[in-house]
Amino acid sequence: MGTGNDFSKNFSYKNFKVENLLNLKDRKIDLIKVNNKIGINVLSLGFDTLVLEKAYEFLNKNPHLGKKAYLLGVIKALKHLSYKDLSFKIYDKDNKAIEFEDKFLLSAICNGGYYGSGFNPAPSAKIDDGLLNLVYAKKLPNLLLPSLIIRYKFGLLEKSKYLDEIKIKKGQIRSSEKILANIDGEIFESKKINFQILENSLTWTYFDKTQKKC
């Protein structure tokens, strides 16, 4: 029921029929713990959260804008483009600690693959694999920003020295100043963000397309 309905894109409704509702199944999916909050889809910080903040400003003035508010948010956020010094300490899928720091445009910790009204930075993300997909964009020349946004939108991270992705279990992000971030569209600020995957934490009901009709 969100503005972009991005979480629903983790499921295929392409061949949905009303009869499918007669064949419902339950399965466990993962959640994200972020400081003292719980999320289901994506934790993100940096430029994309600034875009979200600007989009909300447009929606408050004109609720009928819908998804168009995100495009207007991008245009307005570009006028306030900035990079943040961030320190990461993360644990990969084998629980190996990795530490790095740099100037970043944005970072997203994805349980689901979509957010921001159709952006798909982590196409391989699955909500039931026990992993989070950390995607981040480093500081880059302004001339390359349009191409980076396109790559980020469609998950084309290969062959880019400014974009990268790591599959992880948990981690911490630190900054000397408050980080503008959001979890599933709820904006917050913090100098330290702790996050981790909560495996098999929610029972999700879905329709089983493989089951024969009664």
Query: Per residue in 152-193, pLDDT tens?
Result: 888 888 778 899 999 999 999 999 999 999 999 999 999 999
Assess if residue 16 is contained within a domain: no
The pLDDT value recorded for residue 79 is 85
DSSP code of 55? H
pTM of the model: 0.88
Domain carrying residue 57: 23-206
How many structural domains comprise the chain?
1
Please tell me the distance from the alpha carbon of residue 187 to that of residue 53, in angstroms, as a whole number: 8
* 80-95: average pLDDT: 93
The pLDDT value recorded for residue 214 is 34
Q: Quick check: 210 pLDDT over 60?
A: no
Assess if residue 9 is contained within a domain: no
- CATH number assigned to the domain comprising residue 64: 2.60.200.40
Assess if residue 17 is contained within a domain: no
Please tell me the distance from the alpha carbon of residue 210 to that of residue 165, in angstroms, as a whole number: 33
The pLDDT value recorded for residue 117 is 78
Assess if residue 148 is contained within a domain: yes
Assess if residue 211 is contained within a domain: no
Alpha-helix runs per DSSP H in the chain: 47-61, 68-77, 145-153
Please tell me the distance from the alpha carbon of residue 164 to that of residue 121, in angstroms, as a whole number: 10
Tokens representing residue 126 in the block: 């699955």
Assess if residue 13 is contained within a domain: no
Assess if residue 77 is contained within a domain: yes
Q: Quick check: 85 pLDDT over 70?
A: yes
Please tell me the distance from the alpha carbon of residue 85 to that of residue 103, in angstroms, as a whole number: 5
Assess if residue 117 is contained within a domain: yes
Q: Could you tell me which residue, 166 or 205, shows the higher pLDDT?
A: 166
